[in-house]
Amino acid sequence: MSRYRIAMVAACPFPANHGSPASIREMSEALAQLGHQVHVVTYPDGQDIPVKGVVIHRAARILSSKEVSVGPSWKRPILDLMLSVKLCRVIRRERIEIIHAHNYEGALVGFLAKLITRKPFLYNAVNTMIDELPGYRFIRPKALAVLVARLLDRWVPRGADHITVVSKELGDFLKSKGISEHRITIVPAGVNLEMFEHPDPEPVRRRFGIGSHPVVMYTGTMDPFQRIDYLLRAMQKVVSALPETRLMIVSNIVVKEFLDRHRMLARDLGIEDRVIFTGPIPLPELPSYLAAADVVVMPRPACPGHPVKLLNYMAAGKAIVAFEGSAKGLRNLYNGIVVPDHDWGQFGAGILTLMKETELALRLGENARTGIVGTFDWVTLANGISVLYTGLVHVGRNGLLRLDQQELRKYLKASYDPVPPGNWVPARLPVLRSDKP
């Protein structure tokens, strides 16, 4: 398999211990291990996290803030302009062969560099603007935010020579915007399995005084679209039945406004003393935190992308409760419990079921872990991306990649819906009583 010089565009603080930056880091490391020369071009700042085998190039600093943040801000256009300048310089100096950009701002930066340098451009789509931008409340009024989001969703992906999407739903969304299916390949988010091999939950339980109490855990940001409010309402139902239960919210990007809002809701629901907001934790400690959990949760409904936290849950071998819209790679009662979107009553009932049915929880967790190998591990996915790279440097006159489909299907699947073994029989559970709002 051929090896290439890649400019990986990360329009974000990098490295960082959350979402897209974490995925970009692990993808870059896996590609470097295969022999590609990977150059990450990114913002001036990042967290102190090792990145193996990768060269990092940072845009010039013209702003003083060093805060690692998520979401839009007025500083971003200036950062992206400087990032574009840096990217073009790296392409020329390092004789880059392929531009590989992530997220919307990365796509805009990558497209500009493509116009200037004429290098092939691969865009990795992980979300939609209509799903997230209005929820940040950055653009007012909301109707204007919706209009901007729709324009971005329609036009930004068109600048790429090829697009990878992290889920079938996201691919279908792009097709609905007029993108040809021949320009889209599903490459889900991946996970580094070695990271989860030797966790130690006891220091975590001691640190927060949990003892032997059962623990429900969420890891990720507390932005409005994550619907932590649904989780807290579901936990009220859980705590009323199992008062000893604790909820741990492990959020590495803490926005005071969102933290205060959720603390107030927990207080109003009467469960404030059952909820632990941990604050940021070092990335190497994440497996031990997950090992301390009895049940892990994904309260975001209608998620078009593939949440990295969900893959971490699966790699940790944990029993998962998720809404349908974010249950990528899950099948109800095979490797998780999946409930209807927005129905926090059933969400709470699903958590209760796993708390009480410990054998079921163990079985679902084992199935989740097994489903990662050869499907969502970075070794497999990086080989598939390498096939796409070969296609990119041999783009036909019609703009379509000349892909070795047989080789591609060794590593990338047409569908990532889990397929249970032929002898699988779903568990019989009591009806999940719902207090649907």
Fold match between domain 5-190+377-403 and domain 196-370: yes
Residue 72's pLDDT is what?
Answer: 57
Task: Average the pLDDT over each of 38-42, 227-231, 283-287 and give the range with the smallest value.
Answer: 283-287
pLDDT category at 397 given cuts 50, 70, 90 is: low
Q: Determine how many CB atoms are found less than 10 A away from the CB of residue 50.
A: 10
Q: Which distant-in-sequence residues (6+ apart) come within 8 Å of 204 by Cβ?
A: 210, 285, 288, 289, 291, 292
Minimal CA–CA distance to 321: which of 216, 424, 178? 216
Of the two residues 64 and 56, the one the predictor is more confident about is: 56
| % of the chain residues with pLDDT over 90 | 64
Structure tokens given for 93: 């100096």
Residue 323's pLDDT is what?
Answer: 96
Task: Average the pLDDT over each of 163-172, 214-223, 254-263, 388-397 and give the range with the smallest value.
Answer: 388-397
Residue 267's pLDDT is what?
Answer: 97
Residue 68's pLDDT is what?
Answer: 47
Q: Is the pLDDT of residue 184 over 80?
A: yes
Give the separation between CA 160 and CA 10, rounded to whole angstroms. 16
Residue 272's pLDDT is what?
Answer: 96
Task: Average the pLDDT over each of 127-136, 301-310, 319-328 and give the range with the smallest value.
Answer: 127-136
Of the two residues 21 and 400, the one the predictor is more confident about is: 21
Domain ranges of the chain: 5-190+377-403, 196-370
Q: Is the pLDDT of residue 134 over 80?
A: no
Minimal CA–CA distance to 290: which of 269, 270, 257, 312? 312
Contact predicate 417/188, CB 8 Å: no
Q: What are phi and psi of 117, to 5 degrees?
A: -100, -15
Q: Average pLDDT, whole number, for the chain?
A: 89
Mean pLDDT across 334-341: 95
Q: Is the pLDDT of residue 195 over 80?
A: yes
Residue 395's pLDDT is what?
Answer: 74
Domain covering 5-190+377-403: architecture: 3-Layer(aba) Sandwich (3.40)
Which of 3.30.70.270, 3.40.50.2000, 3.40.47.10, 3.40.50.2300 is the CATH number of 196-370?
Answer: 3.40.50.2000
- The length of the chain in residues reads 437
**Would you list the DSSP string of 28-39?**
HHHHHHTT-EEE
Q: Is the pLDDT of residue 270 over 90?
A: yes
Q: What are phi and psi of 228, to 5 degrees?
A: -65, -25
Report the largest interatomic distance among the alpha carbons of the chain, rounded to a whole angstrom: 65
Q: What are phi and psi of 266, to 5 degrees?
A: -60, -40
Beta strands in 257-380 (DSSP E): 275-277, 295-298, 319-323, 337-339
Residue 259's pLDDT is what?
Answer: 94
Residue the block writes with tokens 């604790």: 246
Mean pLDDT across 313-341: 94
pLDDT category at 66 given cuts 50, 70, 90 is: low
Task: Average the pLDDT over each of 18-27, 86-95, 269-278 and give the range with the smallest value.
Answer: 18-27
- Cross-strand bridge partners of residue 320: 296
pLDDT category at 376 given cuts 50, 70, 90 is: very high
Burial string for 84-121 (b: 16+ CB within 10 Å, else e) reads bebbbebbeebebbbbbbbbbbbbbbbbbbbeebebbb
Give the separation between CA 131 and CA 116, rounded to whole angstroms. 31
Instruction: Count how many Cα atoms sit within 13 Å of the Cα of residue 150 in the half-sphere of its side chain.
Output: 7
- 240 phi-psi bin (left φ>0, alpha ψ -120 to 50, beta other): alpha
What pLDDT, in 10s, does the model give residues 197-209? 899 999 999 999 9
| % of the chain residues with pLDDT over 70 | 91
Give the separation between CA 326 and CA 304, rounded to whole angstroms. 7
- Cross-strand bridge partners of residue 100: 8, 122
Mean pLDDT across 362-384: 93
What pLDDT, in 10s, does the model give residues 342-360? 999 999 999 999 999 999 9
